[in-house]
Amino acid sequence: MNKVNLHTKAYAKKLDDNDELRKYRREFYMGETIYLDGNSLGLLSERAEKSVQEIMNMWKQLGIEGWTNGSHPWYYLSEKLAQTSAPLLGAKEREVIVTGSTTVNIHQMLATFYQPAGKRYKILADDAAFPTDIYALKSQLDLRGLGEEALVQVPDRDGILDEEEIIDRMNDDTALLFLPGVLYRSGQVLDMERLTKEAHARGIMVGLDLCHSVGSVPHELHEWGVDFAVWCNYKHLNGGPGAVAGLYVHEKHFGGSPGLAGWFSSKKAVQFDMKHTLEPEESAGAYEIGTPHVLSMAPLIGSLEMFGEAGIGRIRKKSLQLTGYMIDLIDSGIGSGLKVVSPRNPAARGGHVLLKHEYAAGICNALKAEGIVPDFRAPSYIRIAPVALYNTYEEVRLAVETLKRIIDNEEYLQFSNERGTIA
């Protein structure tokens, strides 16, 4: 039997010809590069551009009446976007709200649900967490007069967490478990269902950071019983730089007051009664704080529409095929010095592949010089994210072939091994 040559253009073309999501690529502004950084900032789509223009036209034509009239009334836009976000999260519509930023939403959730009492006062997190998560956790501990010993971080091993060790650290003094759905460096997918079940069996509240999983990995937050979650919308969901984020609160917590109350925490029907006593929404809307950033939500109208059509199941299937193809190409074509860190098990791998090399920054700079956009993460990691809605198998093939040449010929030595201001 003839062995398939993964490195041929013909093989990649066959995969592209059989891609059931290939039509969506035409809707994105791809530029002249091979863009493999969608896990940091997704590309602009024509639909997102159109929805921004619709919101701008509403402002131009309706002025203040745009809050309640027009195609996308601003007063209800956070809830409208929650409806289209909910299927990606496995949540009920009322459990989701598009609001704030990831860090603001973490503070809101902690102010509400982190309630240390007696010996149960510690927060269990991980050593591989994105920095903003740890900054927020430490800040909340400071506000409560607790020292950093109240924050327990499970160590990672080259970006990979041992779930058994996480469970072993769930002690009688743990009040809250806060973990990522997908680790931002390695792309490891945690078993969110299992960890939630184990935490709840021990009386521990569960919160998740879904910034690197939403839009690339399916979730069932309501069924799993996750207490709360936060995420950004500018990575896999292509909401644009600084797009308004989102949060989820399980309906079992409805009826309480938010830890950080504000103008938009109110029930919509009485908000303009202008009373000084808050009547919070009995939904995730209770955890909004200020007036929604309408112009920064506008791209999500078009982007989330696309996700509704494509379906997170099909997106996940192609995402795993793209990253699996990349790993197979690397395994069969690149020599020593480059290590694949991301899990080989597809069920444990998110939407990007993490590579390790001692000259990682230089390699990233060399790839960019070739028109290929990867992502560097300190101290020695390369993240490559082929996105299901707009990247092709041929782009993956070309990127790996270029990577092979750069490493085999040591072309990276011509470039600085220092990161840029933003990496």
Q: Where are the domains of the chain?
A: 9-30+311-414, 50-309
Structure confidence by residue, pLDDT tens digits, 57-113: 999 999 999 999 999 999 999 999 999 999 999 999 999 999 999 999 999 999 999
Distance (Å, whole) CA 189 – CA 30: 28
CATH number for the domain formed by residue range(s) 9-30+311-414: 3.90.1150.10
Answer yes or no: are the C-beta atoms of 119 and 173 closer than 8 Å: yes
112 is in an annotated binding site: no
Domain 50-309 CATH assignment equals 1.10.760.10:
no
Q: What integer is the mean pLDDT of 281-294?
A: 97
List CB contacts of 310: < 8 A, sequence separation 6 or more.
Answer: 21, 24, 388, 389
Residue 212 clears pLDDT 70, i.e. is over it: yes
Q: 3-state DSSP call for residue 152?
A: strand
Q: What is the pLDDT of residue 209?
A: 98
Structure confidence by residue, pLDDT tens digits, 354-380: 999 999 999 999 999 999 999 999 999
For residue 420, name the pLDDT band (cuts at 50, 70, 90).
Answer: confident
For residue 418, name the pLDDT band (cuts at 50, 70, 90).
Answer: confident
130 is in an annotated binding site: yes
Q: What integer is the mean pLDDT of 170-175?
A: 97
Distance (Å, whole) CA 323 – CA 338: 16
Q: What is the pLDDT of residue 319?
A: 98
84 is in an annotated binding site: no
List CB contacts of 417: < 8 A, sequence separation 6 or more.
Answer: 359, 360, 361, 362
**Which residues in 42-133 belong to E strands, given as ranges?**
96-98, 122-126
212 is in an annotated binding site: yes
List CB contacts of 118: < 8 A, sequence separation 6 or more.
Answer: none
Q: What is the pLDDT of residue 2?
A: 53
Nearest 5°: phi and psi at 389? Answer: -80, -20
421 is in an annotated binding site: no
Distance (Å, whole) CA 13 – CA 392: 9
Distance (Å, whole) CA 237 – CA 310: 12
User: 351: exposed, middle or buried (C-beta count within 10 Å: 0-12, 13-18, 19+)?
Assistant: buried
Q: What is the pLDDT of residue 1?
A: 38
CA distances from 68 to 58, 63, 71, 92, 285 (A): 11, 11, 9, 24, 17
132 is in an annotated binding site: yes
Q: What integer is the mean pLDDT of 376-400?
A: 97
68 is in an annotated binding site: no
Q: What percent of the chain has pLDDT over 90?
A: 94
Nearest-5° angle of CA 322, CA 323, CA 324? 90
Residue 3 clears pLDDT 80, i.e. is over it: no
Q: What is the pLDDT of residue 286?
A: 98
Distance (Å, whole) CA 284 – CA 94: 6
59 is in an annotated binding site: no
Q: Please name the amino acid found at residue 65.
A: E
103 is in an annotated binding site: yes
